Structure 1
Amino acid sequence: MNVKRQSITVEELLRRYAAGERTFVGIEFSYSDKGLRGCNLSGINLSGSQIEVYMADINLSGADLSGANFSNTIFDRVDFYGANLTGANLDGVEFRRVSFQNTIMPDGSIGDESC
């Protein structure tokens, strides 16, 4: 079954998050001139989403990222404290100085490390 995702821009995501919205289930966003940088997106729900964008200096603590497709995304200085990555696709992902503490990893194990 092919799921139709709502395509939004990084700027729209940030605007809606700043307005208090936290649920962005099944969205799709990829290219942005500056990527996604310097944001606090703690508690965001991006489950089932398709995300291919450079992410730097991002707080994703407590985020629901289950089932999300992050293939070929670069995570640079990202905090995944308490995030849920169950079933997330991390094929081709590059991790640079990220923190997994009390993080539910794609295979269901609990991650407690930095890399």
Structure 2
Amino acid sequence: MNTKELLSRYAAGQRDFRNLNLMAANLRNLNLSGANLSGANLTKANLTKTNLSHANLTDAVLTGANFTETNLTKANLTNATLSDVNLSHAYLRGTILIGNHPSLPTLESA
């Protein structure tokens, strides 16, 4: 599934996008609030200023993803792979970060 199809399905009310391969996808400035992206591969994806509030990112691969100014309010990142992610000024209030995150960067939340 490409970004255009993802947005079309989201606009139609679909929220279940488990195990998608969105490696290096440009998802900048999108509203994906409440989306289920558990198990998705978002390696090196651009999620700058994206609304991922209440999203399920459990077990997602987020290596090298850019979350600058991303809204992750009440998102679930349980067991997500967070190595080399950019969380500069991300909104993290209520975000669930349970799991082994040995390389979690210093968080600068707004």
Structure 2: tracts of 5 or more residues without a match: 101-107
CA contact (8 A) 1:43 1:64 kept: yes
More strand by share: 1
Structural mapping, 1:49-68, within 5 Å? 49-52=40-43, 53-68=45-60
Q: C-alpha distance in 2, partners of 1:98/1:9?
A: 25
**1:91, distance to aligned residue in structure 2 (A):** 0.9
Please, what is the CA RMSD of the aligned residues? Answer: 1.7
* Partner residue, 1:41: 32
2:28 matches 1:18? no
Structure 1: tracts of 5 or more residues without a match: 1-7
TM value normalised by structure 1: 0.81
CA contact (8 A) 1:89 1:106 kept: no
* Partner residue, 1:3: none
CA contact (8 A) 2:15 2:36 kept: yes
Q: C-alpha distance in 2, partners of 1:96/1:13?
A: 25
Q: C-alpha distance in 1, partners of 2:66/2:32?
A: 16
2:109 matches 1:114? yes
2:90 matches 1:95? no
Which of structures 1 and 2 has the bigger CA Rg?
1
Q: C-alpha distance in 2, partners of 1:92/1:69?
A: 11
The percent identity for this pair of structures is 37
**1:10, distance to aligned residue in structure 2 (A):** 1.4
**1:67, distance to aligned residue in structure 2 (A):** 0.4
Partner AA of 1:61 in structure 2: S
